[in-house]
Amino acid sequence: MLDLAALQLDPEVTARLPDGQEIVRHLTQSRKRTVHDVLREAVRSGTPAVQPRCGVGGHAEMLALLRGLEEGAEPDILTVTIDSHTRLKHFATAAMTLREDPRRLNGYPLVAHGWERGRELNDSVRAPLEVRHGSPDARELFAVAVASGITSFEGGGVTYNLPYAKDVPLARSLRAWQRVDQMCGELAQAGVIVDREFFGSLTAVLVPPSISLAITLLEAMAAAASGVRCLSPAYPQGGQIHQDVAALRSIAELAARYLPADVEVFPVLHQFMGVFPADAGTADALILYGALAGRLGGAAKIINKTSQEAHGIPDLTANVNGVRTSRMAISGFLDFVTLDEERVAEEQYWIQREVSEIVEPVLSGSNLLDDIDTAFRRGQLDIPFSASIHALSQVVPKRDSGGAIRYFDAGRIPLSGASADFNRSRLDMTGDGAGDVFIASIKRDINYFATSGHRRARHISEGERQWTV
């Protein structure tokens, strides 16, 4: 029997939930495909699943959005994106805002709506649902999600803390997420596989691939130790296709090296999470570019963007068109596109070497969660441009001349001399890493795809001269 008491939930939330036995019964008797089923089929077919983001406050509006997306684009997985009040466990504020004006919510307040409405969302569409949010402590949200019949839940104690929260101690968020993962382990023993996705996008600002992969790998290891059987490490498109493909392909190899053999691992690509082009045509080209990188990299799933990213929350039409654009990129339409495999292999070698240099000192300790916390305190693990005081943010990333993201300064991350030399060899190391000129160069790197029209087109094409037809 599923023991919800182990989650140590807010009593008001617990009082409104069905018991664990009923939750398991509902999940096991459901005829609907799970996210795990979809990911398995994507791997078998060699075609990534496509998933848009979406979330609005009102229940009727959320139902209409999900149904409209399914009717217009037939995505493989659909999203319930959660509002910021619920993410921070301000459940009363979310409920009050829902009553007064749901349009003021920037997502769906699932805890306030409750599991019965959650089941209505899940039953209203053929595609399985995933909850995406950004909460350092998602125990209540997770309980309502599984009671709703939702079979995929994103986040982790690092990836949903340090990029989002200013002052939530890592020890607290890591332990809260450990309870979520333990509950996923109990569900797995009862025959229910919940997909756990890890948010490798982090701050979405010039994240070196090895940082993204190292942190999601550590979260995946912690989840597997708690009994999770379906792991989806997500990597954010950086913008240089050889590096992005190499990073995606590295996920399976790193999983084979560091994760138990009895877990399933599904690489996920987030289409470009940085500053998006304002021009709709260029934005669509970037979406096509990202989906192509996902297919060539062997992603099991692609999280989709839209042409309206630069202008606010995308509407239904933009989401439908974004999914259709990605479908074109992962179809046989672009089968003629190949890459310089020697260049990809070189990137894979250095990415995997850097990941090992980052994670192995953490794994040398005796308690993984404590050792992750300690590593961040010391700067041995770090995230550039973090909002949190619990990350040193001493890493300074830069793009090289081809657009790949490198370490200008690795801070206290324990890269070897060889890895540091490789990064230096790919960068223009003139200047001391300070001053207005250097800051301007960082801003240019952040706005890599959001520059003037002719430069945007050049950035998407020049870095890919190695494509062969």
Catalytic residues: 87, 154
**Is there a contact between 2 and 24 (Cβ–Cβ < 8 Å)?**
yes
CA–CA gap between residue 186 and residue 240 (Å, rounded): 40
Sign of CA dihedral 157, 162, 163, 167: positive
User: Across the strands, what pairs with 270?
Assistant: 236, 303
Residue type, 246: A
CA–CA gap between residue 425 and residue 405 (Å, rounded): 13
- CA dihedral of 93, 145, 75, 281, whole degrees rounded to 10: 30
Sequence-ordered list of residues with C-beta below 8 angstroms from that of 169, at least 6 positions apart, any chain: 390
First to last CA, the chain: 56
CA–CA gap between residue 225 and residue 232 (Å, rounded): 15
Neighbours of 47 (CB within 10 A): 16
Q: Would you state the structure tokens that stand for residue 175, as one six-digit string? A: 């332990």
Burial-class residue 346 by CB neighbours within 10 Å (0-12, 13-18, 19+): middle
What phi and psi values does residue 195 have, to the nearest 5 degrees? -75, 130
Angle at 360 between CA 356 and CA 364, to 5 degrees: 170
Neighbours of 323 (CB within 10 A): 23
What phi and psi values does residue 425 have, to the nearest 5 degrees? -65, -20
**Is there a contact between 51 and 303 (Cβ–Cβ < 8 Å)?**
yes
